[in-house]
Structure 1
């Protein structure tokens, strides 16, 4: 992506904007873009400061790995500087623990806003929280060397950063359970075959493929894309008849808009 003055650059996250395309980059390749509460807060802030004319958000990681997941320092007694360790959090009141996890999840929720289409470009390792961050996006372009894995269960935990819902929707209950319960790697061929990946390309073509996809997404009128995304994102929870009704309502809005009719 074009190097631009960042809108935000802190705690391992950089946000740049070029016209209607924003790029969020994980910027700690020395640690394989390992994640921390500070990084999650920076991701949440990136979503909040996006200019209103942004239509496509590209998520990428510097270096050989997209994100190797949660920084294991979180499980040490010391934790991160200025942060309670996860062990201390676990010893506190349940309501506080629940509220803290909910705050962390905010870094993973805004990518599916109906006014945006988000694209994760994923190379190398996407482990645990890294896998879930890729799943938070609408679309995924992956490199031929990609290695997805959900290792939380192997650590005695569960995936809790919003990854379970999209994973089941993409690959089905049985495969999602097997991937998470075993912690095994999912490579590029399987990712594309099962719907985890929209496209597989050589690693050096990731940014170019994202630019091409962003351009294709921008070719359609914004309101039509917004309505279409809302239809598909809501389809999972609607019955067939409810979806028919939603389609009619959305099309009615589009036709009235094209005819210049305002309510």
Structure 2
């Protein structure tokens, strides 16, 4: 199942009487490919922009992951109506749903879960983080809530704890909640939830560091939005070229200095 993450983010810094524009992007995590983007209108927000972006995409058979700002009934319905599945993070903006999770999935209950679980461990900067992933079918009050959330079949919970010097920090335990219309195993849920954040280092970081997007001060008309589209196209083309294994910045320099490599980049997109 292909996974598409939907994220929002500012695209240029503030200027005279003008704040940053905000874009919502769809990113295919498996292919590291930007599928589409849409600008959020000044008098609108992500909640109205995400359905507009979904209308532009062919998502049948995909798993759409969105963080809590996109956990909305109409967004869930649109995804299912288009033949896809959703995995949505649940926070306090959906009060009844979040309360049901807190009532039924305390830390103690999650730690003693007898159903499907999957544990991962990740070491970074001298610290070990352990994540316990559990999935459950809907039950009790979730059955009533499922009438509001089209296709809801799976509840997902992630319990995260950090370990320093061989000891888990009990004061730094976090619990995250998810709903999905897909029938996911705990391992599938773990990979999907983790891959959702690939957009941070596989797209946003590249846009900010390699493309230096935050340093751009072009604001006139729709120029900022258009340039973001060009940058996304450049990232897609360079990610797609595998003949030179390097970071995006080095690939940019090589394309600028080598017509042969530039031809390879363009040929990979069928435009050379």
The answer to whether the superposition gives a TM-score over 0.5 is no
Higher relative CO (Cα under 8 Å, sequence separation at least 6) belongs to: 2
- Higher normalized strand content (fraction of residues): 2
Structure with bigger helix share is: 1
In which range does the TM-score fall when normalised by the shorter chain? Answer: under 0.3
> TM-score when scaled to structure 1?
0.27
Taking structure 2 as the reference length, the TM-score comes to: 0.27
Larger radius of gyration: 2
